């Protein structure tokens, strides 16, 4: 978890490689669907391009299919999901029904000013349709309103690992590995 621009995607790739488990990113799956012009992509585009969250039932459906893939049988790392309390509740139900549970929730802590700067820099490199100034502001607003409550949610469940997300990729990665004990 963490605000947009916290480095979730980059760290998720590194951590999943270290643990030998797949990284499952709802953002990547949705972007791929948009590129392919599939029904899912068409449904998601207007939400993504305006900085809004895609409806819960859409992303919950994606995750429920994806975690049943064979490659996820030995565990998986979720990147960018859950993002609302409703999604977190749905995830609990899914995992419970398969006899699974969450080991850890990694929360990358980065102040708004820093993520804003990083996202504007990323806009120049990656050309993501949702990395414009207006959309970034909307995404941050939605993050605080809809996703941040999950920090307390997972803290209460004693799952949360709070990680300082400031610094270089390698510095942050070391902090995560050491918090996970890997
Ligand atoms: P990300 O790559 O994780 O920053 O996601 C990019 C965009 O995809 C977000 O701004 C949302 O519009 C959408 N998205 C990704 N994951 C979710 C999710 N779990 N719930 C709702 N929308 C999502």
pLDDT digits (tens, 9 = 90+) for 31-87: 999 999 999 999 999 999 999 999 999 999 999 999 999 999 999 999 999 999 999
Which tokens sit at 180?
A: 């996970």
Residue that has been written with the tokens 């565990």 in this structure? 75
Q: Write the pLDDT tens digit of every residue in 132-172.
A: 999 999 999 999 999 999 999 999 999 999 999 999 999 99
pTM of the model: 0.96
| Alpha carbon of 11 to ligand 1 centroid (Å) | 16
Residue nearest to atom 15 of ligand 1 (CA): 27
Sign of torsion, CA 53 56 61 66?
positive
Q: Using most ligand atoms within 8 A of CB, pick from 10, 11, 80, 90 the residue to mutate for ligand 1.
A: 80
When pLDDT is cut at 50, 70 and 90, the band that residue 128 belongs to is confident
Name the residues annotated as catalytic: 8, 83, 122, 128, 139
Rounded CA separation 85/164 (Å): 23
Radius of gyration of the chain (CA): 16
CB 142 within 8 A of CB 51: yes
CB 12 within 8 A of CB 99: no
Nearest to 72, CA basis, from 9, 15, 29, 22: 22
Rounded CA separation 71/134 (Å): 38
| Alpha carbon of 178 to ligand 1 centroid (Å) | 27
Domains belonging to the chain, first-starting first, are: 8-174 (3.40.50.300)
Rounded CA separation 28/63 (Å): 12
């Amino acid at each position: 978890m963490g605000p947009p621009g916290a480095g979730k995607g980059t760290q998720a790739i590194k951590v999943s490689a270290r643990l030998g488990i797949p990284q499952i990113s709802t953002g990547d799956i949705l972007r791929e669907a948009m590129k392919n012009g599939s029904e899912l992509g068409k449904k998601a585009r207007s939400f993504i391009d305006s900085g809004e969250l895609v409806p819960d039932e859409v992303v919950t459906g994606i995750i429920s299919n994806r975690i049943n893939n064979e490659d996820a049988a030995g565990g998986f790392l979720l990147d960018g999901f859950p993002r609302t309390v409703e999604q977190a509740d749905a995830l609990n139900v899914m995992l419970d029904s398969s006899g699974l549970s969450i080991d850890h929730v990694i929360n990358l802590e980065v102040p708004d000013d820093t993520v804003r700067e990083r996202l504007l820099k990323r806009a120049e490199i990656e050309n993501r349709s949702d990395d414009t100034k207006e959309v970034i502001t909307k995404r941050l607003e939605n993050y605080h309103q809809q996703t941040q409550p999950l920090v307390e949610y997972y803290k209460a469940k004693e799952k949360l690992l709070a990680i300082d997300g400031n610094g270089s990729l390698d510095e942050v990665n070391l902090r995560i590995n050491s918090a996970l004990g890997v």
